Structure 1
Amino acid sequence: MKASKRNVHIKLITEIFHQHNKEVTRVEEVGTFLQKENTSVLQFTEQYEDQEDHVQALITISPERVSVKRSGAVDMHQVFKKKQTTENVYRHAYGTIHMETFTDQITFRDLSQAKEGKLFISYTTKLNGEDSRRHRLTLSFREEQK
């Protein structure tokens, strides 16, 4: 099968629930979506107004796992596998954090199934062995209009 690459508008919302508090982060960027057989790849640059450094994001989605690689102002490679625990190290200007991630749910719809693609991941993390925090990641994307 031939790979198809498209320019897309990406909206990423992350929600973190910790002790009665909810922290929400929204990122909207333009990036690329590449689909080849049963693997999808989203690539974009996170740009922050208050920071000079940007973060390159590469999200690879396959039936058995989702991989999120971020490099630049932060460096991490987080892998999500449904009903499994994975580990990674998150590096940023203030030091490193060891992360344990347990993934509850992963759902994905690509652009061949609808006008808007969507990735949803529900998971918990432990940072440096502390209490678990619940997370929801919702990434939606649609083809850029020419």
Structure 2
Amino acid sequence: MNKSQVAIKMTMEIVDTSQKDVTVIEETGQLFENEGKTVLKFSELNENKEQTNSLITIHPDKVSVKRSGAVSMLQQFQRKQKTENVYRHQFGTIHMETETDQILYQSPEAQRAGKLFISYQTSLNGEPPRRHRLTITVKKEN
């Protein structure tokens, strides 16, 4: 298994009929590469200085995002499939239903950043679904 220190930039876009909400997180983390599987591990602090640990496991046909700490969830992305999970945070829990449209992954190389792109729709607590785009760029640090 290959292990690298990486710079991570995670951009989350939520598109509603009338507005677009964009969140960007930049952290350093670790990238573990194995045959047929890549794992990205990093932590972030929220505005209250509470830590959330993220573990993103990338397979050719699916991606799982496990978060623990201030926020907890296990979200699965499988192309053209519906998945469900529960998102827990300081204000309570949210039931999420996700339908994944697209997963694209390009692993990082020495001089080129890697990129994970996921396009999906999520419905929170039975509300109408909203379109989401998650883009994570990963650049190996020397």
Report the TM-score range of the alignment, normalised by the length of the smaller protein: over 0.9
From 45, 48, 53, the equivalent of 2:43 is 45
Query: Is the partner of 2:71 in helix, strand or coil?
Result: coil
- Describe how 1:69-108 pairs up with structure 2 within 5 A: 69-108=66-105
From 6, 9, 14, the equivalent of 1:8 is 6
Query: Is the partner of 1:123 in helix, strand or coil?
Result: strand
Give identity over the alignment, percent: 51
- TM-score, normalising length: structure 1: 0.94
- 1:52-82 CA-to-partner distances (Å, cap 9, x unmatched) read 2111000000012100001111100000000
Note the C-alpha offset of 1:112. 4.2
Cα separation, 1, equivalents of 2:140 and 2:64:
22
Residue 63 of structure 1 corresponds to which residue in structure 2? 60
Structure 1: runs of 5 or more not aligned: none
From 109, 113, 116, the equivalent of 2:113 is 116
Runs of 4+ in 1 over 6 A off after TM superposition: none
Cα separation, 2, equivalents of 1:95 and 1:22:
24
Query: Is the partner of 1:83 in helix, strand or coil?
Result: coil
Distance change >3 Å, CA 66–CA 114, structure 1 → 2: farther
Cα separation, 2, equivalents of 1:11 and 1:103:
21
Letter in 2 for 1:31: G
From 18, 21, 29, the equivalent of 2:19 is 21
Cα separation, 2, equivalents of 1:111 and 1:38:
14
- TM-score, normalising length: structure 2: 0.96
Cα separation, 1, equivalents of 2:57 and 2:21:
25
Contact 2:109/2:140 (8 A) holds in 1: no
Cα separation, 2, equivalents of 1:72 and 1:17:
27
Cα separation, 2, equivalents of 1:52 and 1:35:
30
Structure 2: runs of 5 or more not aligned: none
